[in-house]
C-alpha cells in the first residue's frame, strides 16, 4: 500500500474508493494471474514512486490514482489480489480491476482476465472481511458512502468484437453495444443490491485514435484516427448515457454518473499542443504504433526518454501526463458523487 506524498492527512471526502474494470484502472491484479496481459516490468512504472512497475498500464499514475489524491486519500485502493489486501488497508477501498476484462465475460475469458462477475464475487468477499473488522453498522456506512468507479468496454471492441469474425457476423456494432448494455445494466443492479449508492462509469475513449487501433484498423500508411471506430464509440456512449438514466430512475437513492473520457482524450489527440503535449499519434513505448504489455519491455527499441510530451504511453494506454488531465476533467464531472 503506497502512501501518497504531499497529500493532506485530513479525512477523505468519501469513506472508500472501489475500482472495477479493465487495464485502464488495473493497479496490479493481473500480476497474480496466468495471463498474457501484464505490466509488472520496466519500462512500465518508470515514473511511478521508486520507479516501481506495479502492474499499472502506464509510465506512472493512473487516472484513479489522481482521483484518490484529489478525494483526500493518503493511499491508493489496494489491488485485491495482492498481499497488501488485508487488515486496515481494506477500510479505504480496494481495486478489483483486471486488464483485458470487459462488460462481456466472454471477452475476459478469451484472455484469462478477471470477469466483471468475478470482480463482483471478489467484492462480496471483500465486504465480509470489512464487516468482520468494523461491525455491520460501520461497514454499511462505508459501503453506501463509498464511490464505485467502473471503467471498461474498450477490450470488448478492440480485443474481441473487431477481431472476431463470428461476433461481427452475428452482430452489427449497434447490436453488439445493445448486448453490452444488458451486461452493464445487470452489473449496476447487482452492485446496487450489494449496497452501492454512488457509482461513476467512464465512457469509451475515442477507440479509433488509440495508436494500436490506427495500426490494426487504419490501413497501410494511415496516421489518422479510424472514424468507423470512433463512430461506434460515440454510439455506445449515447446508449450508456440512456441506460444510466433509466437505471437512475429505476433504483431509489442511486447516484449514477457517466464520466466522459471520449471528449477530453479526443481533444488531446486533435490539439496536442493546446493541451501541453507534443506527440499524440505515436505512443512513447517502442515504435509507438502497437506495443502493449509484453511487447512494451526494457528491450523495446525507440522508447521515448520523456513521456510527459506524449498523450499515449503504449499502444492502448494514456501516459501519466494525459491521465492527470483526464482525472481533472472527471473530478469536475463527478462532483455530484461526492456531495
Q: Tens digits of per-residue pLDDT, 133-177?
A: 999 999 999 999 999 999 999 999 999 999 999 999 999 999 999
**What pLDDT shows up at residue 295?**
85
Q: Is 104 a catalytic residue?
A: no
pTM of the prediction?
A: 0.95
Q: Contact at 8 Å (CB) between 65 and 322?
A: no
Catalytic residue among 108, 160, 317, 319: 317
More confident residue, 225 or 1: 225
Q: Tens digits of per-residue pLDDT, 4-27?
A: 444 456 799 999 999 999 999 999
Q: Is 317 a catalytic residue?
A: yes
Over pLDDT 90: what percentage of the chain?
89
Catalytic residue among 26, 47, 104, 314: 314
Interior CA angle at 55 toward 155 and 181, to 5°?
A: 25
Catalytic residue among 23, 82, 160, 293: 23
Mean pLDDT value across residues 279-291: 90
Mean pLDDT of the chain: 94
**What pLDDT shows up at residue 136?**
98
Grid-cell match 456531495, residue found: 339
Q: Tens digits of per-residue pLDDT, 193-209?
A: 999 999 999 999 999 99
Q: Is 144 a catalytic residue?
A: no
Amino acid at each position: 500500500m503506497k502512501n501518497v506524498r504531499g497529500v493532506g492527512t485530513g479525512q477523505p471526502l468519501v469513506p472508500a474508493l472501489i475500482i472495477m474494470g479493465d487495464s485502464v484502472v488495473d493497479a496490479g491484479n493481473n500480476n497474480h494471474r496466468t495471463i498474457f496481459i501484464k505490466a509488472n516490468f520496466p519500462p512500465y512504472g518508470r515514473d511511478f514512486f521508486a520507479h516501481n512497475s506495479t502492474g499499472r498500464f502506464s509510465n506512472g499514475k493512473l487516472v484513479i490514482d489522481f482521483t484518490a489524491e484529489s478525494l483526500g486519500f493518503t493511499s491508493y485502493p489496494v489491488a485485491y489480489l495482492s498481499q497488501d489486501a488485508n487488515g486496515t488497508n481494506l477500510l479505504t477501498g480496494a481495486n478489483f480491476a483486471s486488464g483485458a476484462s470487459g462488460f462481456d465475460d466472454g471477452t475476459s475469458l478469451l484472455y484469462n482476465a478477471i470477469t466483471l462477475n468475478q470482480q463482483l464475487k471478489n467484492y462480496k468477499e471483500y465486504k465480509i472481511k470489512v464487516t468482520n473488522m468494523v461491525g455491520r453498522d460501520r461497514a454499511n456506512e462505508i459501503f453506501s458512502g463509498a464511490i464505485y468507479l467502473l471503467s471498461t468496454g474498450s477490450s470488448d471492441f478492440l480485443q474481441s468484437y473487431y477481431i472476431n469474425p463470428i461476433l461481427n457476423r452475428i452482430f452489427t456494432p449497434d447490436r453488439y453495444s445493445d448486448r453490452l448494455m444488458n451486461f452493464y445494466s445487470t452489473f449496476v443492479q447487482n452492485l446496487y443490491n450489494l449496497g452501492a449508492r454512488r457509482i461513476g462509469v467512464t465512457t469509451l475513449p475515442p477507440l479509433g485514435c488509440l495508436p494500436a487501433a490506427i495500426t490494426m484498423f487504419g490501413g497501410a500508411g494511415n496516421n489518422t484516427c479510424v472514424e468507423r471506430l470512433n463512430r461506434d464509440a460515440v454510439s455506445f456512449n449515447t446508449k450508456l448515457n440512456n441506460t444510466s438514466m433509466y437505471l437512475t430512475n429505476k433504483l431509489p437513492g442511486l447516484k449514477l454518473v457517466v464520466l466522459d473520457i471520449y471528449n477530453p482524450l479526443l481533444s488531446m489527440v486533435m490539439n496536442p499542443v493546446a493541451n501541453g503535449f507534443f506527440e499524440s499519434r505515436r505512443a512513447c513505448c517502442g515504435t509507438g504504433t502497437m506495443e502493449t504489455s509484453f511487447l512494451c519491455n526494457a528491450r523495446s527499441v525507440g522508447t521515448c526518454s520523456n513521456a510527459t510530451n506524449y498523450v499515449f504511453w503504449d499502444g492502448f494506454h494514456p501516459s501519466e501526463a494525459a491521465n492527470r488531465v483526464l482525472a481533472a476533467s472527471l473530478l469536475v464531472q463527478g462532483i455530484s458523487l461526492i456531495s
